[in-house]
Amino acid sequence: MQENRSFGTYFGVYPGADGIPMKNGVATVCVPDPRADGQCVKPYLDHQDLNRGGPHGQINAEEDMAAGKLNGFIGQAEQGSRTARVGQRGAELCH
Amino acid sequence: MVSVGQSYVTDLINAIMQGPDWRSTAIFLSWDGWGGFYDHVMPPIVDQNGYGLRVPGMVISPYARKGYIDHQVLSHDAYVKFIEDDFLKSQRLDPKTDGRPDPRPTVRENAPQLGNLLSDFDFSQAPRAPLVLSQTPKTTLVPPAG
């Protein structure tokens, strides 16, 4: 068991997998960045060997999923300090 | 760092593959949570605990189907289900009665949405030989500054 990676992070462009929706090699999904006036950011390749991801308690999962819109990820990462509140609610805190 | 973690896991799996029990081994390599990283699939809701966002999962065994991609809905409950099917004749451990109470609200192995990991195996195939990987493969990863 390893920690803290989404399926899309590993197999998002793996042939045959249910990965990032693409059309002509370009992602057709994006997530708005609240700190950039809501600019919508498509998934991209990250070459960094260190990436701590975003907060991942229960409330963060709900916000990431946004009732099916799957567009809360960047906002939650930018509000990472909210994990302290999640901890008080007894949800998972891990690194 | 990702590279350190993956080298460690590669070393463990290499050792198991080259050990005396490989011919009767199945390794399920998975991740405990999505970690805040993007995924585009809304998980089905089976009870008040989820499921959660998708995580990677791999099956490594002499009897794993080669190159097979499993499109079933699976959760970590599928591992418990597989173990119970294999070693307890499909008896289910109920968190209410197994003597070790836990937050599972139900016997989640019985969730109707949950697939079966048995699909990932072909026990009639010739057992596959170990595939030992380099612990230090060529990488494009960029180490952190400083």
Q: Which residues of A touch B142 (CB under 8 A)?
A: 47-49
Mutate to test the interface with B, among A1, A31, A42, A92 (most CBs of B within 10 A): A1
Residue A88 belongs to some domain of the structure: no
Residue A94 belongs to some domain of the structure: no
Q: How many angstroms separate the CA atoms of B32 and B122, rounded? A: 26
Nearest 5°: phi and psi at B134?
A: -65, 140
What is the separation, in whole angstroms, between the first and last Cα of chain B?
14
Domain that holds residue A59: 7-46+54-82
Q: Which of A7, A49, A55 sits opposite B3 (nearest CB)?
A: A49
Residue B65 neighbours by CB under 8 Å, 6+ apart: B120, B121, B122, B125
Q: What's the whole-model pTM score?
A: 0.90
CA separation, residue A3 to residues A21, B17, B24, B114, B132 (Å)? 24, 23, 26, 22, 23
Question: What residue of A is the nearest CA neighbor of B3?
Answer: A49
Binning pLDDT at 50, 70 and 90, where does residue B141 land?
very high
Closest to B40 in 3D by CA, of A73, A24, A57 = A73
B39-84 pLDDT tens trace = 999 999 999 888 999 999 999 999 999 999 999 999 999 999 999 9
Residue A14 belongs to some domain of the structure: yes
A37-94 pLDDT tens trace = 999 999 999 999 999 999 999 999 999 999 999 999 999 999 985 554 444 444 444 4
Which pLDDT value is given to residue A76? Answer: 96
Q: What would the mean pLDDT of B108-124 be, rounded to a whole number? A: 97
Residue A29 belongs to some domain of the structure: yes
Q: Which residues of B touch A17 (CB under 8 A)?
A: 69
Question: What residue of A is the nearest CA neighbor of B6?
Answer: A2
Residue A63 belongs to some domain of the structure: yes
Total domains in chain A come to: 1
Q: How many angstroms separate the CA atoms of A35 and A16, rounded? A: 35
Residue A65 belongs to some domain of the structure: yes
Comparing A63-67, B85-89, B96-100, the range with the smallest average pLDDT is B96-100
DSSP single-letter state for residue A80: G
